[in-house]
């Protein structure tokens, strides 16, 4: 497939399809790394070609630690995507990262384990050590922040995304440690997606949707799942507005 894709989106929990994708076609991509989480849906938003992939599958059957991140990233690249926005549900740690906030983080600390984290992780593959000092594309982050401003959406600029293994939520002590480490947000799916995107030289950035206060950061003794889903629904509703503004800017 050689036709360019202007933007690819990887939808996280709560975002299983992209509303307003016209003339959509489904691509079941077979990759050297196995199957992606679902078919990649490619369609138009106005004059722009947009690809969408549900990270957990469209029926949310794949937990964070079982997502085939390599197949997902490879499939988007194979279909012609060069700009990828990962949408990730997160817990908020920093005081200005409360439920329903949208953030475009600028750093990552990876606490995941036992995931396949590199395209090098195949017998005979060339070993590459990518620069990951700045894990997200500065250009795409700026474009997202400019788009948010143009669409009059409140988005927090920056923050450190702590990626945990899941699928369970964290203990208070784990979050206290992550806070000491400098994490502002916690999620289970930000890595290795970002690193794999860098290996394929994709422009990649994250839009983090805060679903709840991380353990011990809010007033509640426990994190309530119905609240997570209500907050995510409210935050997710802003994503198409942001994406349309991003596309409109070119
Ligand atoms: N922790 C990890 N991942 C998450 C959380 C959380 O509190 N909320 C949504 N995704």
For residue 86, give the CATH number of its domain: 3.40.50.1580
> Which residues line ligand 1 at a C-beta cut-off of 6 Å?
89-91, 164, 169-170, 186-188, 211-212, 214
Give the Å distance between the CA of 3 and the centre of ligand 1: 36
pLDDT of residue 24: 97
Long-range contacts of 228-233 (CB under 8 A, 24+ apart): 228/89, 229/14, 231/99, 231/100, 232/13, 232/14, 232/89, 233/14
Please determine, for residue 110, whether its predicted confidence score (pLDDT) is greater than 50: yes
Give the Å distance between the CA of 54 and the centre of ligand 1: 18
Closest C-alpha to 207, from 241, 172, 164? 241
pLDDT of residue 152: 97
Percent of the chain topping pLDDT 90:
92
Q: Atom of ligand 1 at shortest distance to CA of 223? A: 7
Question: Does 53 fall in a domain?
Answer: yes
Reported as a single tens digit per residue, the pLDDT across 164-174 is 999 999 999 99
pLDDT of residue 220: 85
Please determine, for residue 1, whether its predicted confidence score (pLDDT) is greater than 60: no
Give the Å distance between the CA of 216 and the centre of ligand 1: 12
- Angle separating helix axes 239-248 and 138-150, nearest 10 degrees: 110
Please determine, for residue 10, whether its predicted confidence score (pLDDT) is greater than 70: yes
Give the C-alpha separation, 210 to 185, whole Å. 8
Give the Å distance between the CA of 11 and the centre of ligand 1: 15
pLDDT of residue 68: 98
Question: Does 215 fall in a domain?
Answer: yes
Q: In degrees, to the nearest 5, what angle opens at C-alpha 55 toward C-alphas 50 and 126?
A: 90
Question: Does 104 fall in a domain?
Answer: yes
Please determine, for residue 205, whether its predicted confidence score (pLDDT) is greater than 60: yes
Give the Å distance between the CA of 165 and the centre of ligand 1: 10
Reported as a single tens digit per residue, the pLDDT across 26-46 is 999 999 999 999 999 999 999
**Which residue is closest in CA terms to ligand 1's atom 7?**
91
CB distance 64 to 13 below 8 Å = no
Q: Residue 222: which domain range? A: 7-119+130-248
Number of domains present in the structure of the chain: 1
Going by pLDDT thresholds of 50, 70 and 90, the confidence category of residue 2 is: very low
Q: What is the sign of the dihedral through the CA atoms of 208, 212, 216 and 219?
A: positive
pLDDT of residue 221: 85
Question: Does 181 fall in a domain?
Answer: yes
Q: Atom of ligand 1 at shortest distance to CA of 164? A: 2
For the residues 141-165, what does the mean pLDDT come to? 98
Q: Which of 65, 90, 103 to mutate to test the pocket of ligand 1 (most atoms within 8 A of CB)?
A: 90
Question: Does 125 fall in a domain?
Answer: no
Q: Atom of ligand 1 at shortest distance to CA of 170? A: 1
Question: Does 124 fall in a domain?
Answer: no
Reported as a single tens digit per residue, the pLDDT across 183-204 is 999 999 999 999 999 999 999 9
Give the C-alpha separation, 111 to 88, whole Å. 16
**Which residue is closest in CA terms to ligand 1's atom 9?**
90
pLDDT of residue 3: 65
pTM above 0.75, yes or no: yes
Question: Does 2 fall in a domain?
Answer: no
Question: Does 111 fall in a domain?
Answer: yes
Q: Which of 169, 179, 235 to mutate to test the pocket of ligand 1 (most atoms within 8 A of CB)?
A: 169
């Amino acid at each position: 497939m050689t036709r360019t894709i202007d933007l690819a989106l990887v939808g996280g929990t709560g975002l299983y399809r992209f509303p307003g994708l016209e003339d959509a076609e489904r691509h079941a991509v077979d990759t050297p790394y196995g199957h992606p989480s679902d078919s990649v849906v490619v369609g138009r938003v106005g004059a722009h070609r947009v690809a969408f992939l549900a990270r957990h599958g469209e029926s949310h059957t794949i937990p964070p630690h079982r997502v085939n991140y390599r197949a997902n990233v490879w499939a988007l690249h194979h279909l012609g995507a060069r700009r990828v926005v990962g949408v990730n549900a997160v817990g908020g740690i920093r005081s200005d990262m409360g439920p329903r906030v949208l953030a475009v983080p600028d750093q990552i600390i990876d606490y995941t384990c036992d995931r396949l984290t590199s395209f090098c992780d195949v017998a005979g593959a060339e070993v590459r050590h990518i620069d990951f000092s700045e894990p997200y594309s500065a250009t795409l982050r700026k474009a997202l922040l400019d788009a948010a401003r143009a669409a009059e959406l409140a988005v927090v600029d920056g923050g450190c995304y702590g990626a945990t293994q899941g699928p369970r939520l964290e203990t208070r002590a784990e979050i206290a440690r992550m806070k000491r480490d400098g994490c502002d947000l916690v999620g289970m799916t930000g890595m290795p997606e970002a690193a794999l995107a860098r290996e394929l030289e994709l422009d990649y950035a994250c839009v983090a949707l805060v679903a709840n206060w991380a353990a011990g950061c809010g007033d509640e003794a426990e994190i309530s799942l119905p609240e997570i889903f209500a907050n995510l629904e409210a935050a997710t509703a802003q994503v198409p507005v942001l994406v349309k503004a991003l596309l409109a800017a070119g």
